Structures are given as C-alpha cells and as structure tokens.
Amino acid sequence: MSGVTPADLADHAFLLGMADGHLAVLARDCWVVPVPKGHRLFAEGDTARRFWLIRSGRVALDVHAPGDRQLIVETLGQGDLLGLSWLVPPYQWQFSATAVADAMTFEFNADAVRTACESDAGLGYQLLQRVMSAASSRLQATRIRMLDLYAASSTVRGEP
C-alpha cells in the first residue's frame, strides 16, 4: 500500500473536481516522495516510467548544451503536473527535470496509470482533460515568452 488516499489527492489543484472512484485508482500506484534540492528526477532521453504532481517547492525543466551547461526552459511548482512525455509514444523524456528548491511530490507509476486508462475511458478522459489544460497553458505562456515583450523594440526611427 502506498499510504496515499483519494482524499490526499483530491486537495491537489491538478486533480480538482475528479470523482472519488477515479482518485482511488490513481491513489493505488502513488507515493508521497520528497525531492531534495539538486536531485534530478529524470534525464533527457530516459524512458518515462513515472510522473509527478508537485505539492510544494520548485522543479526546473532543462536541456543540456555543449560546455556542460544546463539551460532551464521552465520552472514548475505547487499545483503543477511534472511530465507530459509519459502519455505520448515513444514515452521518452524530452527534457531533464531537477529540483531547484526542496520539493514535495506525489509520484505515480506511468505504466499503471496508462493501463488503467485503457480499461476505464472515463478516467482516461478526466485525466487527459486536465493534462490538456496544463499543456495548453504552458503553450500559451511559451508563445508569449517567444514574443520577447520585455526587449527594447526595434527602433527603425527611434525617438524624436
């Protein structure tokens, strides 16, 4: 037994409004996992066997660049889903994830959850709706960041 109850999960922002029955399925293969600062949860290229819901703290998604540099693309925190690639074949992490502040998480078994969704379409739909919402928000935010709004605009003519 994992010790995580449906009631524990119901409090998390990502699972808001999910039926108890569905929460119970998720709670079966779920553990409370503290992640200390600096710990890497997964690396670019690894198989995505797990995913997390962040309860507190901060996790950075990054990519490795030549010169031994990790470039952070986004940070996630309280209320966020960590991990999207576990839902999309070939189930391979596209980024690495590292805790940049001590974090507390619910950790899930990705294979088990995917299998449960195969047999319970209702659970699948509920989960995918929430995943889509998170992904959509992040896409919108990323598009805005690409606009580079805070940069000084190109001054063809400059000021008077």
Partner 1 sequence: MADEHYGEMGAVDKAGGPGSVRLMEAAALDRLFASLHEAGYRVIGPTARDGAIVLDELAAASDLPFGWGVRLEPGGYRLRRRDDTAAFGHSAGPGSWKQFLHPPREKLWSARLADGGFEIEQAGDDAGREAGPPRLAFFGVRPCDLRAIQIQDQVLGTGRGNSRYAARRSAVLIVAVNCTEPGATCFCTSMGTGPAAGPGYDLALTELVSGERHAFLVDVGTEAGASVLAGVPQTPAGAATIDRARSAVAEASQHMGRSMPAAGLRELMAGSHDADRWDEVASRCLTCGNCTLACPTCFCTTVEDVTDLSGDHAERWQHWASCFDLDFSYLHGGPVRASANSRYRQWLTHKLGTWHDQFGSSGCVGCGRCIVWCPVGIDITEEVAALQAEAQGKQAHDAETPGGAP
Partner 2 sequence: MSQVAAPVLPARYQVVERQEETHDTVTLCLRPVDQPIPAYQPGQFTMLYAPGIGEVPISISGTGPDLGLAQTVRAVGAVTRALCACTPGRVIGVRGPYGTGWDVAAAAGDDLLIVAGGIGLAPLRGALLAALGHRQRYRRVVALVGARSPEELVFARELDGWRDDGAEVAVTVDQAVAGWTGHVGVVTQLLGRAEIESARTTALICGPEVMMRLTARELRVLGVPTARIRVSLERNMRCGVAECGHCQLGPLLLCRDGPVVSYEAAMPLLAIREL
Query: Site residues (CB under 8 A) for partner 1?
Result: 153-157, 160
Whole-angstrom CA distances from 78 to 56, 84, 87, 100 are 5, 17, 21, 13
Site for partner 2 contains 133 (CB under 8 A): no
Question: From partner 2, partner 1, none, which one binds at residue 75 (CB under 5 to 8 Å depending on kind)?
Answer: partner 2
Residue 23 Cβ, how far from partner 2 at the closest point, in Å? Answer: 21
Closest separation in Å from C-beta 117 to partner 2 = 26
C-alpha torsion angle, residues 92, 8, 54, 114 (rounded to 10): 10
* CA–CA dist 113, 55 (Å, integer): 19
The Cα 93–Cα 65 span in angstroms is: 16
Give the span between the Cα atoms of 82 and 105, in whole angstroms.
9
Using CB distances below 5 to 8 A depending on partner kind, what does residue 124 bind out of partner 2, partner 1, none?
none
Considering the rule CB under 8 A, would residue 75 count as an interface residue with partner 2? yes
Per CB under 8 A, residues contacting partner 2 are 13, 58, 60, 69-75, 77-79, 100-101, 137, 141, 144-145, 147-153, 155, 158-160
